[in-house]
Structure 1
Amino acid sequence: MSELTELTVDLVSIPSHEDASAAGDYIESWLQAETDAAVTRDTAGNVIARRSPDNPTQSLALIGHHDVVPPAPEQFDDDGYVVETRDGRIYGRGTADMKGAVAAAMLAFRDAALSDATELVFASFVGEEIGGTGARAAIDDGFCPEYAIVAEGSTNYSGPGVTDVVVAHRGRRASTLVARGAAAHASEPEAGTNAIYRACDAVDTVRGLSVPTATVLGHEIDGSVVVTEIEGGSAWNVIPDTCTVTIDERTVPGGYAELAQTESIDGVEWDVEQDLPPMACDDEAFAELVLSAAQDAQEGSPQLVTKPHATDAGWLAQNGTTCLVCGASEPGQAHTKNESASIEVVERCYRIYKTSAERF
C-alpha cells in the first residue's frame, strides 16, 4: 500500500460527521511530524500550515475540508468508519468528499520544492458540509491567500477518467416564500383570503423569472431557480391562512434571479435562509498553469470546465482569493452509501498539486 493510499485510509477511518476534532488532530499531528511548517489550529477547528521563505512575494494555498456528511449504516460500525480497498478504489464515507484529496494535498504540501518567492499554505477546514462555517471563521481571522487550489471534485467532467480544472462554479441561495391570508370556513370561501392562492401566484412569478448567465475565461455558466416544496392548509374544510414555498436557486458569478418580485403579491414575504457564493477565477495565467500541471499528470486531455456545486472556493473568492477547483471526486460519488475514490486519481491529484506549487 502506497504512502498516499495509507494516509487516505487512515483519514477516512476517523469519524468526522458530528465532530471533526479527531480528524483535525490527525492532520495537525501528521503535519507537525512530517514537515517543518508552521502549523496552527484555530478556535473553529481548522488546521492551517505554512511553508514560507523569509520574504515571500506570492502565496498559494491547497484547500480541503475534513468534515463529512453522516454515514450510511453500512459505512459505520463500533470501530468507526468502515474503509475497504479493492479494485483500485478506496471505499468509505469521505473518500471522495474529500479526504482522498486532502491526503494528496498534505503530501504535496510536504514534498513540493518551492521557489524562494512562494509561500505554500495548506488548510483543511471544518463545517464545509453545513455552509462553510470553517472557511468563514478562517476568513474572519484574516485568512486570505492570494491564490488557492480547492481540492473538491473535478474528475470525469469533460470526459471519463479525466481530472479537469474548474474555473467557475455556481452558488446556492435557499429561500422561502410565506404567503399569508385569512382563515374562514370552506363553505364560505369569500369570507377569508386563501393563502395557497397567493402562494400559487408567487410560484407563477418564480416560474416566469429569467436566470442569469456568466462567462468565465470563455466558459459559460448558467443559473437556475426552482420551487422544491410547498406546505399549507390545516384541514379540508378550512380556508388556509398561511402557505410556505421553498425555493432552490443556483447562482452564478455576478447574478441572481429577481426573487424580490414575489413580494409585489399581497401577503407574500420572501426570506433568504442561505446564500453560498459562486466562484469565478479571475486570472487566466493561473488557470493555464494548473491546467498544464493536470495535463502532465495524466494520459487524458483535461479541460477548463465549470462545476454545478458550491464549495468553499466561493467564500475564498468572495474575500479576494483567486481560486480554482481540482480534485479526485467524480460525479455521483459524494454523499452516497457506496462512496469511493480511485487510487489512481488520488495519486494524480498529488502530482497536480505538487507540480502546480513548484511551477507557481
Structure 2
Amino acid sequence: MTQDTAAVAELTRRLVSIPSHADEGAAGDAVEEWLRAETDAAVRRDDHGNVLARRGEGAASLALVGHHDVVDPDPSQVVSGTPDDPDPEYRIEAREGRLHGRGTADMKGSLAAALLAFRDADPAGELVFASFAGEERGGVGARAAIDDGFAPDYAVVGEGTTGYSGPDTTDVAVAHRGRRGSTLTAHGTAAHASEPDAGENAVYRACDAVDVVRDLPAPETTVLGHQVRGSVAVTGIEGGSGWNVIPEDCSVTVDERTVPGERVPLDRVETVDGVEWTVDQDLPPMACDDADFADAALAAADAAQTGTPDHVVKPHATDAGWLAAAGTTCVVAGAAEPGEAHTATESVSLDVLERCRRLYRRVAERWPAT
C-alpha cells in the first residue's frame, strides 16, 4: 500500500467509524475539525449541519461535493448496540484491498478522497468543499445550502461511478435520472357489498387510473450524446375496509424515474372520476450543460487510472440534481461500484479511493479553464 493510499484509507476509516445514520452531527464535527486542522481554508458549519470550505481565488469556482450521512446499518455492520441505536459501534474491516462497513462506499470513502484533494491541490480558481447533511433524506442539506446562497459555478459530486463502462474503471457521469414518487387517491362511496350499485367502488376507479399509467410512455432525452431513459411503474395499491363493504377509498403508489427536461404526464389520471394525483417526493435529474467541463473531468479520470474511462449516465439521483437545478454545472465521479451502496456487504476498494483522490485533485488544478 502506498503512502497516499494509506492516507485515504486512514481518513476513510476515521469517518466511517462515526455513526451518522440517526444523527450526522458527530460526523460533521469530524469533517469540520479535519479541515480546520489540515488546511488554511475558510471553513464554516451552517445551521443545517453542512460543512463548507473555500480556498484559492479566481473568477469561477469549482466545488468538490459529498455527504456525511448514511442509511441505517445492517445488524452485521454493528459491533455493539443495535442498528436502532443512535450511536452504535460500527464494524469496519479491511480485507483483500477493500474497506468494509456502513458508509465506506456511500460515501465516506469518496468524501475522504475529496478532503485530501481539497487540501493538497494548487487550485486553478476558487476551490470549494462541501459535505452535506441529509442527502439520504432527500437532499435536505444541499437544498438548504442552495436556499442560503451556495452556488459554485462547477461541481464534481463524489457519488459512485466505478464499474459502469467496464470492471475497475472509474467513469464520469454527465447525467443521472431523478425520481418522482406519487400517490393516486381514488374516492368513492361506501355501500354494502350485496348492493354494489348503491355505491361507487374506489378500487375500480383506482384500477382505471392504473390503466392510464400503464399506457403512458417512458420519458427519454439525450445529454452530450448519451441517451437517458426514464421509467414509470405502479408499485403498490391499498384500499377497502372489509370483504363485504364497497370501498370508498383506494390509494396507488407510482415510481417515476425522471430524465432532464421531461416528465411523464401523470396528471392525466385525474381525468378518471374521483381520482386525484399528489407528488410525495421529486428528486431532480442532472444533465451536464458544459461539454468542455465534462471532457476536462474525463481527462482527469483517464490520467488517474490505467483503464479507459468514459462518459456515462448514472441511474440514481444525487445531490448533483439539486445543484444543477440551481445553476451549477455538474458531473458525478466516485469510488462506489454498482450494488455496493445501502447493502449489508457494503465495501470500497482502497486503490479506487486513491484513484479518486488523484482525479479530484487533477480537476481542481486544471479547472476552471482560463
Q: Report the TM-score range of the alignment, normalised by the length of the smaller protein.
A: over 0.9
Tell me which of 55, 75, 88 is aligned to 2:77: 75
What is the distance in 2 between the residues matched to 1:172 and 1:194? 31
Shift of 1:296: 0.8
Shift of 1:247: 0.4
What is the distance in 2 between the residues matched to 1:176 and 1:149? 33
User: Structure 1 residue 33 and structure 2 residue 37: aligned?
Assistant: yes
CA deviation profile, 1:71-102 (whole Å, cap 9, x unmatched): 01111133621111111000000000000000
Q: Which residue identity does 2:69 align to in structure 1? A: D
SS at match of 2:211: helix
Is this contact kept in 1: 2:170–2:335, CA < 8 A?
Answer: yes
Shift of 1:155: 0.5
What is the distance in 1 between the residues matched to 2:295 and 2:357? 18
User: Structure 1 residue 152 and structure 2 residue 154: aligned?
Assistant: no
User: Structure 1 residue 189 and structure 2 residue 193: aligned?
Assistant: no
Q: Which residue identity does 2:141 align to in structure 1? A: G
Tell me which of 252, 258, 268 is aligned to 1:245: 252
CA deviation profile, 1:297-325 (whole Å, cap 9, x unmatched): 11111000001100000000000000000
Tell me which of 321, 332, 339 is aligned to 1:325: 332
What is the distance in 1 between the residues matched to 2:349 and 2:79? 23
CA deviation profile, 1:141-171 (whole Å, cap 9, x unmatched): 1000000000000001111111000000001
Q: Which residue identity does 2:314 align to in structure 1? A: K
What is the distance in 2 between the residues matched to 1:269 and 1:68? 34
Shift of 1:3: 1.0
Q: Which residue identity does 2:51 align to in structure 1? A: V
User: Structure 1 residue 108 and structure 2 residue 117: aligned?
Assistant: yes
Q: How many residues align?
A: 356
| TM-score, L = length of structure 2 | 0.95
SS at match of 1:104: helix
User: Structure 1 residue 204 and structure 2 residue 196: aligned?
Assistant: no
Corresponding residue for 1:218?
225
CA deviation profile, 1:168-192 (whole Å, cap 9, x unmatched): 0001101100001111111111111
Corresponding residue for 1:304?
311
Corresponding residue for 2:83?
none
Tell me which of 14, 22, 25 is aligned to 1:18: 22
Q: Any unmatched runs of 5+ in structure 2?
A: 81-87
What is the distance in 1 between the residues matched to 2:219 and 2:135? 26
Corresponding residue for 2:85?
none
Shift of 1:359: 1.1
What is the distance in 1 between the residues matched to 2:104 and 2:115? 15
User: Structure 1 residue 48 and structure 2 residue 52: aligned?
Assistant: yes
What is the distance in 1 between the residues matched to 2:155 and 2:67? 14
TM alignment of 1:123-142, pairs within 5 A: 123-142=130-149
Is this contact kept in 1: 2:56–2:123, CA < 8 A?
Answer: no
Q: Which residue identity does 1:315 align to in structure 2? A: W
Is this contact kept in 1: 2:179–2:283, CA < 8 A?
Answer: yes
- 4+ long deviations beyond 4 Å: none
Q: Which residue identity does 2:108 align to in structure 1? A: K
What is the distance in 1 between the residues matched to 2:78 and 2:72? 9
Tell me which of 263, 266, 280 is aligned to 2:287: 280
SS at match of 1:166: strand
Tell me which of 57, 76, 84 is aligned to 2:93: 84
Q: Which residue identity does 2:250 align to in structure 1? A: C
Shift of 1:234: 1.0
SS at match of 1:243: strand
Shift of 1:52: 2.5
Q: Which residue identity does 2:156 align to in structure 1? A: I
Q: Which residue identity does 1:325 align to in structure 2? A: V
Corresponding residue for 1:352?
359
Corresponding residue for 1:291?
298
SS at match of 1:178: strand
Corresponding residue for 2:84?
none
What is the distance in 1 between the residues matched to 2:194 and 2:63? 65
CA RMSD in angstroms, aligned pairs only: 0.8
Q: Which residue identity does 1:66 align to in structure 2? A: H
Corresponding residue for 2:350?
343
What is the distance in 2 between the residues matched to 1:174 and 1:87? 39
Shift of 1:114: 2.0
Q: Any unmatched runs of 5+ in structure 1?
A: none
SS at match of 1:310: coil
Shift of 1:238: 0.8
SS at match of 1:74: helix
What is the distance in 2 between the residues matched to 1:239 and 1:65? 48
What is the distance in 2 between the residues matched to 1:177 and 1:212? 20
SS at match of 2:343: coil
Corresponding residue for 1:96?
105
TM alignment of 1:48-67, pairs within 5 A: 48-53=52-57, 56-67=58-69
| TM-score, L = length of structure 1 | 0.98
Which range moves more in the overlay, 100-109 or 76-85? 76-85
